[in-house]
């Protein structure tokens, strides 16, 4: 949802700026909208891939450090795991027994240490490809909304304006499901912020466009 809102706001503002600086309904607006969609979606995908891949590599490096510690200092690591359980309220005797049971199998011991100490599941690390694909799709869907009326033959910015503002309100209202804000407050806030971004970019377009033309 946040990726879609990002695409919606950025492309809506881009199209508004182009409309302010060129003739309404111009083919340049459509070109700018499609270019903004493609550039933004690919940029989001590349950034998300790099971010998640880096997090995954960092997690693997930390897991390998933990693996070496277990191999070199098994007794100390077993005691550390027992102390972790005791900190959670286990009786010392039970904590020792559970830690000993895990350390009977080095792979299980590693998984348990990683979960308890690093807060990671070594078998369920995030996929950079999945993250990149989802970011690409979400951004592209959001960015398509303001340019869609032009692709369907609209000759003015009004249909794009109506669709974009409506979509902004809906996206904001949906986000309220995971917050403490009411749906109308969240929707109205997103509408105002997105509309303000587009209005300011339109104003920049009216200032710069005539000089370029």
Model pLDDT, residue 148 = 94
- Biggest CA pair distance of the chain: 81
Cα 33–chain centre separation: 22
Percent of the chain with pLDDT over 90: 77
Average pLDDT over residues 55-61: 95
Residue 21 φ/ψ, nearest 5 degrees? -105, -5
In degrees, rounded to 5, the angle at the alpha carbon of residue 132 between the alpha carbons of residues 128 and 138 is 145
**Distances, alpha carbon 204 to alpha carbons 13, 15, 18, 147, 199, in Å:** 10, 12, 9, 19, 9
Taking only the tens place, the pLDDT of each residue in 119-175 is 998 888 999 999 999 999 999 999 999 999 999 988 788 999 999 999 999 999 998
Q: What confidence category does residue 24 fall into, taking pLDDT thresholds of 50, 70 and 90?
A: low
| Nearest Cα to Cα of residue 57 among 113, 133, 125 | 125
Model pLDDT, residue 179 = 85
Average pLDDT over residues 37-46: 96
How many C-beta atoms surround the C-beta of residue 129 within 10 A? 13
The DSSP letter of residue 118 is: I
Element spanning 150, H or E: helix 128-151
Element spanning 169, H or E: helix 158-175
The DSSP letter of residue 25 is: T
Unique residue bearing structure tokens 């690409």:
136
**Total-model pTM:** 0.84
Taking only the tens place, the pLDDT of each residue in 94-134 is 999 999 999 999 999 999 999 998 899 888 899 999 999 99
Tokens representing 16 are 């508004």
How many C-beta atoms surround the C-beta of residue 205 within 10 A? 21
| Nearest Cα to Cα of residue 127 among 48, 30, 188 | 48
Unique residue bearing structure tokens 């249909």:
159
Q: Is the pLDDT of residue 213 over 70?
A: no
Model pLDDT, residue 3 = 86
d(CA 186, CA 172): 5
Q: What confidence category does residue 83 fall into, taking pLDDT thresholds of 50, 70 and 90?
A: very high
């Amino acid at each position: 949802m946040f990726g879609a809102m990002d695409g919606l706001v950025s492309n809506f503002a881009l199209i508004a700026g182009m409309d302010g600086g060129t003739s309404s309904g111009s083919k340049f607006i459509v070109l700018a909208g499609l270019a903004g969609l493609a550039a933004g979606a690919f940029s989001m995908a590349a950034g998300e891939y790099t971010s998640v891949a880096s997090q995954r590599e960092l997690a693997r490096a930390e897991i390998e450090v933990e693996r070496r510690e277990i191999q070199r200092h098994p007794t100390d690591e077993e005691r550390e795991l027992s102390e972790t359980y005791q900190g959670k309220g286990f009786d010392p005797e039970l904590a020792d027994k559970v830690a000993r049971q895990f350390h009977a199998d080095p792979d299980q011991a590693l998984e348990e240490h990683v979960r308890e100490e690093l807060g990671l599941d070594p078998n369920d690390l995030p996929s950079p490809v999945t993250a990149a694909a989802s970011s690409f799709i979400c951004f592209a869907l959001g960015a398509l909304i303001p340019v869609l009326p032009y692709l369907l033959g609209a000759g003015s910015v009004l249909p794009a304006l109506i669709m974009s503002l409506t979509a902004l309100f809906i996206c904001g209202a949906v986000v309220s499901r995971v917050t403490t804000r009411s749906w109308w407050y969240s929707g109205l806030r997103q509408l105002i912020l997105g509309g303000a971004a587009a209005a300011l970019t339109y104003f920049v377009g009216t200032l710069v466009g005539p000089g370029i033309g």
